[in-house]
Amino acid sequence: MAKDPKYINKIPDPKTGKIIYDETEEITWRFLVARQNRLIQNRACKEFLRGLELLDFAHKVPQHFEMSEILRSHTGWSVAPVPEIIPAEEFFTLLKNKQFPSANFIRVPEEVDYLKEPDIFHEIYGHCPLLTNQDYGDYMQEYGRLALTVKGKERMRLFRLFWFTIEFGLLKENGNYRAYGGGILSSSKETVWAVDDESPDRISLDPMTALRTPYRIDILQPVYFVVENLPALFKTLEKDLISMAKESLLLGDLPSKFSLKNQDGEVSSGVY
Ligand SMILES: [Fe+2]
């Protein structure tokens, strides 16, 4: 994916280590948090809502060291400030070491609803609340360890599991669908679509099916995978996922529910 030149990471103040956000950026953050806090009621899982209370994002763009202090006290995780895009090897190594990589720039007001690059709102609001939960944190860590044991096409296949769980996972809570995926919970449209809309398929998470299901990054997801709860999510890693990733390459993709081409007529860079 080509990097948008208007989105570059901010440099911390040399004296305080803090990142300075200007008034427009602070307003954008508060707008996004307030809108999303409303939308996720009865749509986010209870563990996410609890994490959100612990992290308290309402008043200002958070600093990574403030988030790290809170996460460490609950699960031992921390936030690692990284450049906008980092190599996969570095990304998975950070996860294995319980460090969540996060860019620190924030979207411009003209793109408040959607941008391709993950900004600080997606990273911190979307993912960090659940890093106060041990089962979710353990899943993320173990996923990072597993991803480092494979390369190339097999790693790309394994990334589908990341996509359909950490980014776009649903779970069941008292018989209702609730979101735990950060890609859902940092998007106003996807939050409503994933939980309420009748259009998308919602199917029980079977790792082989997920590994054989292509996705695109630039559309509302047509299919979501559902787990019973976060401990059950962690249990999916007890299966031999590396062998399954290899086998999924031999079996090939399941029929996709979308055009492989994006609105520009090109094969989407997000089709993996
Ligand atoms: Fe993400």
Q: What angle do CA 175, 48, 242 make, to 5 degrees?
A: 80
The rounded Å distance from CA 186 to ligand 1 centre is 9
User: Among the listed ranges 25-34, 108-117, 155-164, which one has the minimum average pLDDT value?
Assistant: 108-117
The rounded Å distance from CA 99 to ligand 1 centre is 14
pLDDT digits (tens, 9 = 90+) for 244-269: 999 999 999 998 887 766 655 554 44
pLDDT at 269: 41
The rounded Å distance from CA 15 to ligand 1 centre is 30
pLDDT digits (tens, 9 = 90+) for 105-158: 999 999 999 888 899 999 999 999 999 999 999 999 999 999 999 999 999 999
pLDDT at 260: 66
Q: Which CATH class is domain 23-251?
A: mainly alpha
Judged against a pLDDT cut of 50, whether residue 271 lies above it is answered with no
Q: Is 41 exposed, middle or buried (0-12, 13-18, 19+ CB in 10 A)?
A: exposed
pLDDT at 128: 98
Please state the pTM of the whole predicted model: 0.93
Judged against a pLDDT cut of 60, whether residue 224 lies above it is answered with yes
The rounded Å distance from CA 255 to ligand 1 centre is 25
Q: Is 227 exposed, middle or buried (0-12, 13-18, 19+ CB in 10 A)?
A: buried
Q: In the chain, what are the domain boundaries?
A: 23-251
Judged against a pLDDT cut of 70, whether residue 58 lies above it is answered with yes
pLDDT at 146: 97
The rounded Å distance from CA 122 to ligand 1 centre is 6
